[in-house]
């Protein structure tokens, strides 16, 4: 029972976090993090991921017994889901956008570089400059 609830909680947090990261990428024009070429697609993706995940969170007590997953466990599962969603988003966007942003070069450092290149391209440019 606890394994099923933990997995459900992890999946809800993971899906919601991926959706929120896509909204942030679209709003801040971080083309290297976004899965999509147009902002509207990122916003639609977020609506179809964050909306159902929030509905799942708000109806949690109606569907599941309370007190099974304690607060510290929820924190642990949320942090695990957050980390997994961030890694998934960076890897997936790098794979999806690698060809499209291949010729670009990072003119900025840090998060600003993700406006022009993917995460892995930014790492390559950053560590390539130090040699």
The predicted-structure confidence for 48-81, as pLDDT tens digits, reads as follows 999 999 999 899 888 877 777 777 888 999 999 9
Q: Residue 69 carries which DSSP code?
A: S
Q: Tell me the C-alpha distance between 122 and 89, whole Å.
A: 15
H helices of 28-108, in order, are 39-58, 60-63, 71-97
H helices, E strands: number in the chain: 5, 0
The chain-wide mean pLDDT, for the chain, equals: 84
Quick one: tokens of 13?
């947090």
Q: Read off the pLDDT band of 18 (50, 70, 90).
A: very high
Angle (CA) 58 20 95, round 5°: 135
CA 47 to chain centroid, in Å, comes to 14
Which residues fall within 8 angstroms of residue 88, CB to CB, at 6 or more apart?
14, 18
């Amino acid at each position: 029972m606890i394994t099923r609830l933990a997995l459900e909680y992890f999946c809800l947090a993971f899906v919601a976090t991926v959706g929120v990261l896509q909204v942030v990428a679209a709003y801040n024009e971080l083309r290297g993090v976004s899965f999509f070429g147009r902002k509207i697609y990122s916003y639609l993706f977020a609506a179809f991921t964050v909306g159902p995940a929030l509905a799942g969170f708000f109806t949690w007590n109606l569907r599941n017994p309370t007190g099974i997953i304690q607060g510290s466990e929820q924190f642990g599962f949320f942090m695990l889901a957050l980390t997994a969603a961030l890694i998934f988003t960076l890897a997936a966007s790098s794979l999806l956008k690698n060809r499209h942003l291949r010729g670009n070069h990072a003119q900025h450092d840090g998060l600003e570089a993700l406006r022009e290149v993917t995460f892995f391209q930014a790492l390559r440019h950053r560590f390539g400059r130090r040699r």
